[in-house]
Amino acid sequence: MIIPFFIPHAGCPHQCVFCDQKSITGKSAAPEPSSLPSTITSYLATASSGGPVQVAFYGGSFTALPIEKQKAYLTAVLPFITSGQVEQIRLSTRPDAVTPGILTLLERCHVRTVELGAQSMDDEVLLLSGRGHTVAHTVSAVTLLRDRGFIVGLQLMPGLPGDTVERFHETVSSVISLRPDLVRLYPALVIRDTPLAGLYRSGRYTPLPLNNAVELCGRALARFEQAGIEVARIGLQSTKELERPGTVLAGPWHPAFRQLVESSRFLESMRALLPPGCVSGPVTFAVSPRDLSSAIGQNRRNIHAIRDRYGRDATIIADPALPRGAVRKDPPCNPGEVGL
């Protein structure tokens, strides 16, 4: 279980063009450190599982906060770690706010996971987006964190100003070479009252269309999985503020964005099992039970796509013997063709 605390924009010395932490997190102000124990106690009282518990600080640049504020937040959690009720702390921060001294404090306070808002591994994209840090800062921060034994996460944002398909694929390659433990993919959205909204209204910025963002993130997901890097999240988590009409002005917003990405990958796999010359007629695909919903797609999207492209009725069934991500066609078109 993760007990989240959101510190929107706290500690951040820059105004990124895309940023409105109130809309993204649904929170307008950071909690006071004195309020943390009661919140943690409430979460623990309702916990239904006996798994490990983490306290997480999201939304801001934690290590850019004044040092006394950092200590106040972290020491508020320590009694729960001492008692064994909480296992560890995780936080997010800026790449240029990671120093050896800060990491010593984090180690003493049982912080285990640090996620960096890298957003891109292209310096021009970072400059145009107002990030205030460079690719070199990200490389340095990852190196420091890994050398000190932290679990490292990188947050990426395809579709920022100046970004292209080629540049984002190069970002993915650069991230893979850094070997983080996990990544998060958040396609850029145009949110009301941000600098990006002004660029969009003036015609100086065009966001990624939804289908393009789904394809781009699908390719990134496949590459990260092949490299053994966990993709912890794809797309922003839905909040009441994000869903309020007029908050998201443009961009690839969808409350179930990851499922769109995974459905798209299953459709590609199924199409690969229907090469030219494959016998016509109804077709059946099998997937892991845990993949069944994604393989079918929202509103049976993949079923309809097979019918529209190939003129064939498709059925998708669950097979517990199949691993996650695998697809089998019954029967295969050619001997030995059993799936991807």
Report the 3 state secondary structure along 145-208: HHHCCCEEEEEECCCCCCCCHHHHHHHHHHHHHHCCCEEEECCCCEECCCHHHHHHHCCCCCCC
Query: Is there a contact between 153 and 108 (Cβ–Cβ < 8 Å)?
Result: no
- Of 37-41, 207-211, 234-238, the range with the lowest mean pLDDT is 234-238
Q: What range defines the domain where residue 147 resides?
A: 2-235
Angle at 55 between CA 51 and CA 58, to 5 degrees: 130
Could you tell me if 172 and 320 lie in one domain?
A: no
- Give a yes or no: residue 252 inside a domain: no
pLDDT of residue 21: 53
CATH number of 135's domain: 3.20.20.70
Distance CA 21, CA 191 (A): 10
Could you tell me if 15 and 161 lie in one domain?
A: yes
pLDDT digits (tens, 9 = 90+) for 145-203: 999 999 999 999 999 999 999 999 999 999 999 999 999 999 999 999 899 999 999 99
- Boundary (domain end) residue, out of 200, 235, 270: 235
pLDDT at residue 331 is higher than 80 = no
- Give a yes or no: residue 241 inside a domain: no
3-state secondary structure of 95: helix
Mean pLDDT computed over 71-91: 94
- Give a yes or no: residue 130 inside a domain: yes
pLDDT at residue 13 is higher than 70 = no
pLDDT of residue 238: 77
Could you tell me if 197 and 290 lie in one domain?
A: no
Could you tell me if 271 and 317 lie in one domain?
A: yes
Could you tell me if 160 and 306 lie in one domain?
A: no
Residue type, 251: G
Could you tell me if 15 and 106 lie in one domain?
A: yes
pLDDT at residue 335 is higher than 60 = no
Could you tell me if 72 and 182 lie in one domain?
A: yes
- Give a yes or no: residue 254 inside a domain: no
Could you tell me if 21 and 170 lie in one domain?
A: yes
Which among 150, 56, 135, 125 has a CA at the least distance from the CA of 95?
135
CB burial of 196-210 (b: ≥16 within 10 Å; e: otherwise) equals bbebbeeeebebbee
Could you tell me if 135 and 227 lie in one domain?
A: yes
- Of 24-28, 110-114, 150-154, 212-216, the range with the lowest mean pLDDT is 24-28
3-state secondary structure of 233: strand
Higher pLDDT, 339 or 153: 153
Mean pLDDT computed over 304-326: 91
Could you tell me if 23 and 112 lie in one domain?
A: yes
Split into its structural domains, the chain has a count of: 2
Could you tell me if 178 and 219 lie in one domain?
A: yes
Give the global pTM: 0.84
